[in-house]
């Protein structure tokens, strides 16, 4: 509910809004979800790391995805933008209420979308 209310207030671009909604509603079929639906036995991450392929794992926690997110955060630091390392910011566009961080939303959100 909070995520949906926040998305209505923040998203200027329809593309960004679509990705946020699909992420919130778990639209993307991750291996763990496909396994439950089709009685398949393979619920492992598609990237080949061997972990269970949940939504959070595939987009944030996977050891093969972490270098990407760390690179994005390093680039933000070079731009003197300090954000907490949090999947809610990158995947859902939910920023802390700190006014200084909210000012950088127009810079950060397109970068996160490009990374996806």
Distance CA 65, CA 3 (A): 23
pLDDT at position 6 over 70: no
Question: Which pLDDT band holds residue 23 (cuts at 50, 70, 90)?
Answer: low
Question: Which pLDDT band holds residue 73 (cuts at 50, 70, 90)?
Answer: very high
Return the pLDDT at 74. 92
Greater confidence (84 vs 8) lies with 84
User: For residue 102, what are the domain limits?
Assistant: 2-115
pTM recorded for the entire structure: 0.64
Greater confidence (66 vs 42) lies with 66
Domain count, the chain: 1
C-alpha pair distances (Å), 11 with each of 30, 40, 66, 73, 92:
25, 37, 25, 21, 10
């Amino acid at each position: 509910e909070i995520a949906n209310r926040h998305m209505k207030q923040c998203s200027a671009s329809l593309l960004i809004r679509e990705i946020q909604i699909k992420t919130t509603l778990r639209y993307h079929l991750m291996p763990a979800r496909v396994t439950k639906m089709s009685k398949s036995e393979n619920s492992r991450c598609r990237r080949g790391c061997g972990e269970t392929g949940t939504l959070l794992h595939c987009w944030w926690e996977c050891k093969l995805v972490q270098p990407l997110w760390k690179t994005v955060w390093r680039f933000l630091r070079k731009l003197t933008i300090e954000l907490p390392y949090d999947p809610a910011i990158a995947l859902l566009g939910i920023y802390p209420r700190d006014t200084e961080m909210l000012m950088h939303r127009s810079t950060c959100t397109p970068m996160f979308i490009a990374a996806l």
